Each structure stands twice: as C-alpha cells, then as structure tokens.
Structure 1
Amino acid sequence: MTNSQPRHGGDPTVFAHDLHDEGEPEAEFHPGIAARLPRKNVAAGVLLRDERGRVLFVCPTYKPFLEIPGGVLEDDESPLAACRREAREELGIECAVGRLLLIDWMPTHGVWGDSLQFIFDGGTLSREQVAAIQPDGDEVSRCEFLDLDAAKERLRPSMARRLTLAHHTLLHGGTAYAEFGRRPAR
C-alpha cells in the first residue's frame, strides 16, 4: 500500500498539526548519509484473549509456527496503525488495540535482519467478535485460542519468551523492554 501521508494510530487533526509544527525537514549536513544509515525491520502484534483468558493464535500459511495477529510495518506506518491494520486483514474484524505491553529487539538470524517487535494489548474479545473472525486464507489458514503454556511447544522459543513477558506486563502493568525475548541484565 503506497500512501504519501503517514499512517498512525492517533487523532489525524492533532497529528497533522504536530507535523506542521515540526517544520521543514533538516537538510543533510553530508549529502547521502541518510541513505547509508541502517534500516531495521519493525513488526507489531496484538495479544487478544477470549472470555476464558486464552490467547488468540493464528496459523500462518507460510511457516510452521504459531503467531499472534500482526505483521511488518509498511513504509511510513506507525506500529499502532500497523497492528490495527494487520489484525483487521488477518482476522476480518476490528479489535480495540490498546496499550503497548512490550518492545523486543530481535538479532539477525539467517537471512532475516535484526528487528523491533511491538506487542499491544487487544483486550478480551466478545463471543460475537470471536464468531465473526474470518481468517484471510492467504496468510492465515486458521485461528485458535490456547493457554500460553499449551501453545509454547508450537512457538519459536523467542516468541514463547516474548509472549510470556507481554502477558506478565498485561497482568502487572507497565511496558517491558526485552532483547530476544529476555529482559536485559541491569
């Protein structure tokens, strides 16, 4: 999706005003430096639960591990906007994406460069919302609600650690920072 305007999760009027107040972008002091700076992949996912507290997992068509609804940010898209878009695309429903639970840095692994992973709280879905879920079929073959412990054997180890931290943050408040699914040493 190409769009000349940034996509974000906030009030469009306030965002436009803030962007205007920022003024003209600064010129590069050394031309070409911006193009040489590293780029990170960024992804955002949402922790959705059913009335029994189980987590909603999607079964991707392109990999053997479970995931939570979400995906990679597009150019000029905020993590919150991407999380909402991806949940809508993958599940076919609108869900209330709330507070940020976790930011996790992932190292380079194989062909995949390092990345930042955001997890937001999606709250508890009503029975009507659960019944309305329609997996998109291209990226998601099906969805299932599982207790986090039961899902761990079907998750990448880093995702299991990340979701455990996100769930802990959900229950105890705050926002967590992690590296490869673990809180860094102090």
Structure 2
Amino acid sequence: MPAVVAKARVLFTDRRGRVLLVRLQPWHRGLHWGLPGGTVEAGTEAPRQAAAREIAEETGLSCVPGRLLALDWVNRSDGQQPRIVHVFDGGLLEGERQEGIRLDAAELAEWRMCTPAEAEALLSEPSWRQLAAALAVLSHDGGPAELVDGMAAATLLQPCPEP
C-alpha cells in the first residue's frame, strides 16, 4: 500500500514581521533550516497534537497551535515517501516567550528570527514557497493554502471539463 509521512510545522512571528526558523543538527542531512515541528506519530496523535508536542520537545515552548495555514504535499526526489506538511499558526513570539526558547541539542543546532528575505535565503526553494504561502494566509482571514511542493495546487491542474 502507498504511504505518506505526515509532518506538523508551526509558524511563529513577531510584531516586526520576522519568523522563527530553526536549524537541524548537522547530522540531520547537513545545514538545514526550516519551521519548527516534526513528524506526526501515526496512530497516536493528530497533526495539531504533533505540532504542540514537537514544539515543546524541540524548543521548550508551550504551544496551542492556532489555525491551519497551509497543507503541502511534498514529493521526495530521494526515494523517500512523500510527505503531507501541516503548517499551523503559532502566534506571536516575543519578549519572555522568545527568551524562553530552550533548544533540544539532540535535534536542533540554533534558532533565529528572520525577515522574509532572510528566510528566503536560508530555506530551500520549496520550503520558502511553503512559508510564503503560509504568511499570505496569515495576513488575511482565508486559508488554508493547498500546496504541492510549495506551489498552489490549483495552478498545477487542468480545470474539470464542463458537463
């Protein structure tokens, strides 16, 4: 049977429009930046629960994920299973809450608050597209964005024929 890996990510922002990015430890496929979060444990939790658990484990932050901003079907070119990434709103991350970040050194090497331009320079192209789509949804009352490798899914398909 085909299988997919479910991921849950959380988008934290500050009042200056910056986003929280974390960098995996080098033994996790090299220098890789991304939104905090991780794998949904199949059969034991839903994506929203996984997001809260992963944020607590990786950053020490208590997080009740807000609305779903994006769903991204991520095809893998390295022979691994495809992934469905759920991106949730983590709310504002400032002051004491930001100072409370305590990274799990087994997983993460560092964190930083980045402007969108800085994030674009650090992320892979598909991860940047995913983040940009989530930021666009965050700025209005719509969503979630439906993506395939970070691109709007509707732009990749032919319209259904008229009956």
**Structure 1 residue 50 corresponds to structure 2 residue 14:** yes
- Total equivalences in the alignment: 150
Structure in which a larger fraction of residues adopt helix: 1
SS of the equivalent of 2:139 reads: helix
Q: Percent identity?
A: 33
Give the aligned partner of residue 150 of structure 2. Answer: 181
TM, length-normalised to structure 2: 0.87
Inter-partner Cα distance in structure 2 for 1:138 and 1:91 = 11
Which portions of structure 1, spanning 4 or more consecutive aligned residues, are displaced by more than 4 angstroms?
none
SS of the equivalent of 1:172 reads: coil
Q: Which has the larger radius of gyration?
A: 1
Inter-partner Cα distance in structure 2 for 1:74 and 1:148 = 30
Higher normalized contact order (CA 8 Å, seq sep 6+, divided by chain length) = 2
TM, length-normalised to structure 1: 0.77
Residue 64 of structure 1 and its aligned partner are, at CA, apart by: 1.2
Give the aligned partner of residue 65 of structure 1. Answer: 32
Inter-partner Cα distance in structure 1 for 2:130 and 2:7 = 13
Gaps in structure 2 of 5+ consecutive residues: none
Give the aligned partner of residue 158 of structure 1. Answer: 126
Inter-partner Cα distance in structure 2 for 1:126 and 1:150 = 18
Inter-partner Cα distance in structure 1 for 2:141 and 2:127 = 20
Listed as ranges, the matches of 1:1-186 within 5 Å are 37-61=1-25, 62=28, 63-76=30-43, 77-174=45-142, 175-184=144-153, 185=155, 186=159
Inter-partner Cα distance in structure 2 for 1:75 and 1:91 = 22
Structure in which a larger fraction of residues adopt strand: 2
Does the Cα contact within 8 Å between 1:96 and 1:123 map onto a contact in 2? Answer: no
Does the Cα contact within 8 Å between 1:47 and 1:123 map onto a contact in 2? Answer: yes
Gaps in structure 1 of 5+ consecutive residues: 1-36
Does the Cα contact within 8 Å between 2:3 and 2:81 map onto a contact in 1? Answer: no
Cα RMSD of the aligned pairs, angstroms, is: 1.2
Does the Cα contact within 8 Å between 1:93 and 1:132 map onto a contact in 2? Answer: yes
Inter-partner Cα distance in structure 2 for 1:58 and 1:40 = 24
Inter-partner Cα distance in structure 2 for 1:64 and 1:171 = 29
Inter-partner Cα distance in structure 2 for 1:109 and 1:139 = 23
